Amino acid sequence: MVIIATSLKGIVQKPIYKDYILAEAQKTSYDAVLLSDFIIKFPESLEIINTELQGLSGDLKNTLSLEELIEQLLYENVEYNPVIHVPNINFADIEKMPILSPGVEVPDDEVNNVDDHYFFWFFDENGNEYEVTVGEEQAKSEGAAPTFVLSLLDESDISNLVVGVNEVSVVSAPISLRNFSIATNEFKLDKRYESSGRSEFYYAARLTISTSPGIPFYLGNKNGNEITKVRKRDIGEDLGKWTTWFPYEDNIESIVFNTFERDWAHSKKVLGKLILTGGNEEYFSGNRCFTTDCYWETDVYNNTNITNPLDVDYFVNPNNWGEEYEGDEGDLTFWKIQ
């Protein structure tokens, strides 16, 4: 990924290419442009990229090519396509020169308040290059330079996270008609996906209610909700953090959820799907490095309200207060809070 990103330095500095990336990223629900689509639009860019790659090869007998590098983008049996992700597309000043990242996180440094920062190349008006680190708050401040991050999407993400999918039914969960809410406390993460610092333990979920048949609701933020940050030494340990997920509603029909390792700089990827009346499917997503960076269900395309239901009606029984759920890479317990 670093090698491919390096070959894009000259590309992102040209206004015609930069403007296209920004315009196209705004049209998608995952705020990114497929590198393959970019090359189709600008065929000459492939030669530019491969020329850069050949220069990076040095004296190697077999010089690098973009096509060969893309064939190597395989992780946990999932084949990926490179994309240029613009995580601050809604905040950036599009007139400014973009900064470019290979998607590599900077080691956390608590002394210097460096937490969840990524490495970027900054280019001035003369084409001079500088190395900088940027955090989410800085990147998403109003008027910041566009942040271009080389990230990954698999074929299923590309086909299911279609244009405008996340603009449908963007509303909060309904107000409770009962006197209790559903929350989590005890949990355990069995795997560490984070390369530096603390793991960002998030959840995302969607539900349907009988009073609005066929209309899916998000629980809280549609892009995911933070549970807590988990230290490296606490992976595999029983932990606790109270997090209220939603107020119980008489009319809840079904819920599908997933917990995942959030990475703000990387593109959205499918977390699961809600099966609606009539068999229609409604996907939901969260930002992360790889599709499988999940704790509850790593096989995200089989994560539905049918195969992995959250039984909220269990808590209607006055004798039921808690229920433990065991996930692929982490467990959590839901509680009734009155």
Q: How many percent of the chain have pLDDT more than 90?
A: 59
**What is the Rg, in whole angstroms, of the alpha carbon atoms belonging to the chain?**
21
pLDDT of 258 over the 90 cut = yes
pLDDT of 272 over the 50 cut = yes
**222, 248 in Cβ contact below 8 A?**
no
The label of the residue with tokens 């608590």 reads 110
Q: How many percent of the chain have pLDDT more than 70?
A: 90
The label of the residue with tokens 């609005």 reads 212
The stretch 135-143 carries a mean pLDDT of 92
Say which residue, 269 or 116, is predicted with more confidence.
269
Please choose, from the candidates 132, 146, 151, 152, the residue with its C-alpha nearest in 3D space to the C-alpha of residue 13: 146
Task: Please tell me the distance from the alpha carbon of residue 100 to that of residue 84, in angstroms, as a whole number.
Answer: 9
Q: Which fold has domain 165-337?
A: Immunoglobulin-like (2.60.40)
For the chain, report the end-to-end CA distance as a whole number of angstroms.
49
Say which residue, 172 or 79, is predicted with more confidence.
79
pLDDT at residue 313 in the model:
82
pLDDT (tens digit, 9 = 90+) per residue, 276-300? 877 888 889 999 999 999 999 999 9
Band the pLDDT of 166: cuts 50, 70, 90: very low
DSSP string, 67-87: HHHHHT-EETTEEEEEEEE-T
**265, 118 in Cβ contact below 8 A?**
yes
Please choose, from the candidates 200, 188, 216, the residue with its C-alpha nearest in 3D space to the C-alpha of residue 287: 200
Domain ranges (residues) in the chain: 2-160, 165-337
Side chain identity at 84, as an amino acid letter? I
| pTM for the whole structure | 0.90
**171, 221 in Cβ contact below 8 A?**
no
pLDDT at residue 87 in the model:
95
SS3 for 194?
Answer: coil
